[in-house]
Structure 1
Amino acid sequence: MPVSAAVRSLSIAPADVFTENLTVHTDQEKHFAGRHQLGGWLRVLLFGLGAAGAWGLFTNGQIGAGIGFLAAVWLAFWLLVRWHSRMHYQREHHRLLAQLNQEELRRLSGQLSGFDGGLRYLDAQHAYAADLDVFGAQSLFQLLNRATTRLGHDWLAGWLLAPAAAPEVVARQQAAAELAPETSWRQEWQARARHFPHQQADPRAFSTWLARPDYFADKPWLKPMLVLLPLLLLAAIGAGVLGLGYRSVAFVVLAISLFNGRFGAIRAEYGEQALAMRDALRATQAQLAWFEDDTEQDWQAPRLRELRARLRTASHGTAATVRLGRLATVAGMFSVREHPLALLLTNSLLLWDLHAMWQLERWKRHLGPELTTVLEVQAELEALVSLAGFQFANPAYAVPTLSPEPLEVTAEALGHPLIFSAGRTTNDFHTAGYGRTGVITGSNMSGKSTFLRTVGLNMVLALAGGVVCARRLHLSPARVYSAMRTQDNLAESTSSFYAELKRLRLLLELTAGPAAAGAPTTPPEFPVFYLLDEILKGTNSRDRHRGARALIRQLHRRPASGLISTHDLELAAMADELPGAVTNYSFNSVIEGDRILFDYHLTPGVCGSFNASKLMQLMGIDLEDDHEA
């Protein structure tokens, strides 16, 4: 295994760590692939030698020696199969570890196209997810997510979709900070679950299904029949061997078939549920064994210690991984359903499905009620590993600090986390208090919308417990709200202008409440920080100016603050009407010949340069033909 990043020099770049790990694990994969291939040939050779030796001994009348020889060969073959399986696991494990480091290198270079975008979590009506690229192509979820399990994905998505209270943010930060330098530990956690790829089913649904009443509870006669019928079949076969005829065998097989048919629907239901969850349970068991049994890791972060304690409490003194291993084994009993011939034989002779159902019901009585707790511990660890992996990969990012002041955002060298160029432009920004609006004017393509997304994405990251793309960020808990990408909807006969009005109405509803001079009588836990891009752009300029000014006045009296970008210089005049509450900022450009140069720096004051006419000329529009110019 590569040396843990915890003992590396802090000067070593994450890319160098991942590159070295990739080389080491690729070499190890090749090493174990060679041993695995050798094991295959040894099995063939041992089988051939065993068959030849047994044949020679038996044909020479050495029956005792032949039996002893076969027993020795069988033992050697069994040991060889176990060794061969370990070589297969090690080969696959190092392949997965190499894959993880390759993925980290791709993230560092901004190549996110192959990662899960989490589109299943994207709700067009959400307060900010669609506007800020939280999910989808080239999204924050792709950059952040290191989870492997279905529930881990859900947990991380939930953190990105809603802000956490200050104590919760701090708890996540502490846990992620302790996990961040433990690169080998984190990647081992990830790789263990990747051995089991079929994890699409929601384990919470399985846990709910397990909570149903015991199927055998009101059928006391059923359990004895599971033993009696196979014994009757065995007795019938014995009678046939003794020359008493095989008619009784046919009768018993018919009885077993009718018995199986009577419970066909419930057998299928249990089998479907168990098989859908088999890989997820095995992945959970493998990961939690690494967290629960690793005596070398004495976690100090309160949240990590709390999660370990919750595991022990839920398991009633027995390791949770032991109980999960038993459940995975029981679920695996239904795997015979994947092989029709084996299913026919085992159920016709042994009532296999019903025995598996019985074992599953027995397991429910031991850990069934606590399974949800165990799954939630795993899911939270998956989300924390994601935050920690992101933190390790970006050592220059800052751990945000939380402000007790309402709606404070103080940022130094704030950048967009989804812009990966070496020359990424950063900006400083500050606002604090209720009823504050920053009006950002600027020319086309100057960076207004990108800056709004920069502020919003970093706030989402900070309030999920992650590090942020900044030298420093000090903020108070807030609910981010954006209106930036409103579109028409033909199915609902909704124009883009009406869609934007609906977004603004929701903003007003979120910020509604008794207030005086912008200060609420009862401060909300999460006041709103809004990001509005070119508001009311779908109507004429007169109505747009009037509506935008009215909206700013309303928001000024509510527990909300935020940023509004616009091309309309008329809105900048609001700074004179509401001094101290409205502040002007701008992004500017310079025209040199046929080139338009942008510096993408946030500047105090109103924009003094615009480039729309030049852009139109560059696109071939001859403004000299405009006789009104």
Structure 2
Amino acid sequence: MQHNPSEIYSSRASIFKQQQTIAAGKASRVSWLRVFLFVAGAAAAYHFFSSGNNLLGALAIVTGYSLFVVVMRWHTRLEYKRQHLRLLHQLNLEELDRLKGNISKLDSGQQFSDDHHPYTSDLDIFGPNSLFQLLNRSVTSIGKAKLAGWLQHRATKHEVLHRQEAVAELAQPESIDWLQNLLATPRHYKHAETTNEDFFGWLQQNHFYSRHTYLRPLIFILPVLTLVAIVAWFYGFSGYPAVGLLVVQSLLAYRFRVERDAFYDNSIGIYESMQSYTRQLQHIEQHQFQASYLKEQQHKLHAGNVKASAALGKLALIIDFFSYRLSTLMAFFLNTILMWDFIWIYRLESWREKYLEQVKGSLDVLASFESIASIAAHQYANPTHAIPEISETPFEFTAEQLAHPLIFVSERIANDFSMQGVGHTIIVTGSNMSGKTTFLRTVGINMVLAFAGAPVCAHKLRVAPVQVYTAMRTVDNLAESTSSFYAELKRLRILLNMTEQGEPVFYLLDEILKGTNSRDRHLGAMALIRQLHNRYSSGMISTHDLELGAMEEELAGSVENYSFNSTIEGDKILFDYKLQRGICGSFNASKLMQLMGIAIEE
């Protein structure tokens, strides 16, 4: 029996809201306890020192401070838990919004849009009201980029099957807690786009101690000598050695101020990302998986001398200590006594030599997990969607009750459709607004989902691996002095070039050559279909040109006619959006113009 996602998300949101309220109350009480311990410790210390009992006064300070730190850490954990419950509540509300089609406020992935891509612009893969908005649950830049890559490039059959297996495991009802905790964890932190990639690239190119080798022994010697000289000064010895050493450290700090600032400025931006990645990887490392893909990815996290989460935790700790320089007063004392910045630059470069390559690999693993988690959450939210079967028959596309995943209505119109074979063209005719262009997009977007390893909006689907290519939204470009007709010709030229490479290409062409006169459009479209018929390609073409339907007889068995029709009842135009065999028998352009106030003589 299938679960009801809407009821489950509503229930989970309500439960997390209640738990958040309870957690907030507990955190508040512990916060007041922290204040009480501080005041009590200070009062006790004052009492003992005032009465001349310095030993008990010192003990009161140490005991009070120790208890204060313990309670402060307790409060930090409680506050994290409260925040996590709030984020889980928010996450389930977002899932409810997705089910209703309210996705406009979610990340659109606009940064991945590319008008020159073979299909992403025409199929609404990125941008407002896009497939990325529906599918993506990640907030990290690496997770978004990985999922975008899966939507931009089809996977091999082997990869698709492995992803499907992994998605199926994480989409099980018993995995929902683990899955949502993985997705909620990075929401605790701020994630700057590609900051970590920029930092790792910068770190690999900057070798401070390779250029200044004489500084390496000084970071161990100078702080010790300076501290000893200061202590000796307090005990009555000459202060000149201490002053001299302080001056030396100050001069070194001034001499390398630009380099020190560069290391800090480049590292501080990734601090929260590293904390996020550490917690996410810990969550993954501690879980037991069954799917081979998930186990293989998890195994990579243990490939180094330490776990990937531990390596990232070390980096976060280094950056945290480095950030002590934010306090001007503290930075002055730390860098004139302990060579603070130099020490943490050294630790950062040592970390690079030990862990950088391991961490880069582990972040790729994390990005893959986040992408699988996004798809799994989508599958859990849509239990009626089918897991596509990858076909060995060239250009097969066999679907039952195929629909568009971005059309959110209570009764989504679906169609059965089947085609296969090389050099096969489906010509779809239809009246205006009848659904022919939407159907082409429906076929294309479900192919993209299938090749990413995601479920498709259909009851069943068998699809052969192909390169999807579209020409639908060709527009003019004033900057390049390009008309819409010429832009479309350029798009078709790319298609012809792709079909010469031997890779299977599935094309979806909407109203081709619409920018020229009817005679040239008809001759050009027929010539293109004949040319594509002799290439390793197949596809679909929508058109108002009924004369193209004659090609079903010319290329019998290779060209088929399908259509969408409408009926006119009084001043109403009725659409059923159902795909039918044959050429369209009804058109409504004149009626539409009449309804818009244009007088048409009948």
TM range (shorter): over 0.9
8 Å CA contact 1:443–1:610 kept in 2: the answer is yes
8 Å CA contact 2:308–2:359 kept in 1: the answer is no
471-480 vs 345-354, greater mean Cα deviation? 345-354
Q: Letter of the aligned partner of 2:567 in structure 1?
A: V
* Structure 1 residue aligned with 2:472: 484
Distance 1:341-1:437 versus aligned 2 partners, 3 A rule: farther
Q: Which string of whole-angstrom CA distances, capped at 9 and with x for unpartnered residues, describes residues 256-308 of structure 1?
A: 222012222322222122212222222111111111123xx3x1111011111
Distance in 2 of aligned mates of 1:42 and 1:310: 44
Alignment partner of 1:115 is 2:106: yes
* Structure 2 residue aligned with 1:571: 548
Q: Which string of whole-angstrom CA distances, capped at 9 and with x for unpartnered residues, describes residues 474-514 of structure 1?
A: 0100111000001101100001111001100000000015x
Alignment partner of 1:302 is 2:279: no
Distance in 2 of aligned mates of 1:246 and 1:38: 50
Distance in 1 of aligned mates of 2:195 and 2:54: 56
* Structure 2 residue aligned with 1:266: 259
8 Å CA contact 2:311–2:359 kept in 1: the answer is no
Q: Letter of the aligned partner of 2:281 in structure 1?
A: L
Query: Which structure 2 residues correspond to residues 573-588 of structure 1 after superposition, within 5 A?
Result: 573-588=550-565
Distance in 2 of aligned mates of 1:460 and 1:342: 55
* Structure 2 residue aligned with 1:237: 230
8 Å CA contact 1:179–1:385 kept in 2: the answer is yes
* Structure 1 residue aligned with 2:153: 162
Alignment partner of 1:203 is 2:193: no
- What secondary structure sits across from 2:208 in the alignment? coil
63-72 vs 187-196, greater mean Cα deviation? 63-72
Alignment partner of 1:50 is 2:27: no
Q: Letter of the aligned partner of 2:483 in structure 1?
A: S
585-594 vs 209-218, greater mean Cα deviation? 209-218
Distance in 2 of aligned mates of 1:352 and 1:383: 40
Deviation (angstroms), 1:321: 1.4
Distance in 1 of aligned mates of 2:415 and 2:534: 28
- What secondary structure sits across from 1:584 in the alignment? strand
Deviation (angstroms), 1:63: 2.8
Alignment partner of 1:353 is 2:341: yes
8 Å CA contact 1:25–1:97 kept in 2: the answer is yes
Deviation (angstroms), 1:218: 5.6
Distance in 1 of aligned mates of 2:325 and 2:514: 60
Query: Which structure 2 residues correspond to residues 31-46 of structure 1 after superposition, within 5 A?
Result: 31-46=22-37
172, 186, 209: which one pairs with 1:216?
209
Deviation (angstroms), 1:15: 1.2
Distance in 1 of aligned mates of 2:256 and 2:27: 44
Distance in 1 of aligned mates of 2:498 and 2:359: 37
Distance in 1 of aligned mates of 2:125 and 2:301: 31
8 Å CA contact 2:3–2:383 kept in 1: the answer is no
Distance in 2 of aligned mates of 1:612 and 1:207: 59
Alignment partner of 1:589 is 2:571: no
Query: Which structure 2 residues correspond to residues 102-181 of structure 1 after superposition, within 5 A?
Result: 102-181=93-172
Alignment partner of 1:475 is 2:463: yes
8 Å CA contact 2:508–2:541 kept in 1: the answer is yes
Q: What TM-score comes out, normalization by structure 2 length?
A: 0.96
Distance 1:616-1:211 versus aligned 2 partners, 3 A rule: same
8 Å CA contact 2:141–2:191 kept in 1: the answer is no
Distance in 2 of aligned mates of 1:56 and 1:502: 87
Aligned-residue identity in percent: 47
274, 280, 292: which one pairs with 1:281?
274
* Structure 1 residue aligned with 2:506: 529
Deviation (angstroms), 1:592: 0.4
Deviation (angstroms), 1:221: 2.4
* Structure 2 residue aligned with 1:369: 357
304, 312, 331: which one pairs with 2:302?
312
Q: Letter of the aligned partner of 2:209 in structure 1?
A: F
Query: Which structure 2 residues correspond to residues 363-402 of structure 1 after superposition, within 5 A?
Result: 363-402=351-390
Deviation (angstroms), 1:129: 0.5
8 Å CA contact 1:129–1:161 kept in 2: the answer is yes
Aligned length: 600
Distance in 1 of aligned mates of 2:391 and 2:235: 87
Deviation (angstroms), 1:200: 2.3
Distance in 2 of aligned mates of 1:18 and 1:94: 14
Alignment partner of 1:225 is 2:218: yes
Alignment partner of 1:71 is 2:62: yes
- What secondary structure sits across from 2:265 in the alignment? helix
Deviation (angstroms), 1:451: 0.4
Q: Which string of whole-angstrom CA distances, capped at 9 and with x for unpartnered residues, describes residues 43-79 of structure 1?
A: 2222222222222222223333333333322222122
8 Å CA contact 1:152–1:379 kept in 2: the answer is yes
Unpaired segments of 5 or more residues in structure 2?
none
Deviation (angstroms), 1:12: 3.2
Alignment partner of 1:25 is 2:13: no
Q: Which string of whole-angstrom CA distances, capped at 9 and with x for unpartnered residues, describes residues 195-252 of structure 1?
A: 1213423433433444447532464421221133323433443354345665655543
Deviation (angstroms), 1:86: 1.1
Q: Letter of the aligned partner of 1:459 in structure 2?
A: M
Distance in 2 of aligned mates of 1:268 and 1:588: 68
Deviation (angstroms), 1:563: 0.6
Alignment partner of 1:623 is 2:600: yes
269-278 vs 403-412, greater mean Cα deviation? 269-278
* Structure 2 residue aligned with 1:436: 424
Q: Letter of the aligned partner of 2:36 in structure 1?
A: L
* Structure 2 residue aligned with 1:60: 51
Q: Which string of whole-angstrom CA distances, capped at 9 and with x for unpartnered residues, describes residues 489-544 of structure 1?
A: 1100001111001100000000015xxxxxxxxxx4x4111110001111111111
415, 422, 427: which one pairs with 2:415?
427
Distance in 2 of aligned mates of 1:464 and 1:426: 22
8 Å CA contact 2:513–2:525 kept in 1: the answer is yes
* Structure 1 residue aligned with 2:7: 16
Cα-Cα RMSD: 1.7
Q: What TM-score comes out, normalization by structure 1 length?
A: 0.92
8 Å CA contact 1:435–1:558 kept in 2: the answer is yes
Q: Letter of the aligned partner of 1:381 in structure 2?
A: F
* Structure 1 residue aligned with 2:318: 330
561, 564, 584: which one pairs with 2:538?
561
Distance in 2 of aligned mates of 1:302 and 1:109: 34
Q: Letter of the aligned partner of 1:545 in structure 2?
A: H
568, 583, 597: which one pairs with 1:606?
583
8 Å CA contact 2:233–2:239 kept in 1: the answer is yes
* Structure 2 residue aligned with 1:544: 521
8 Å CA contact 2:509–2:540 kept in 1: the answer is yes
Distance in 1 of aligned mates of 2:592 and 2:243: 88
Distance 1:340-1:129 versus aligned 2 partners, 3 A rule: farther
Distance in 2 of aligned mates of 1:309 and 1:84: 35
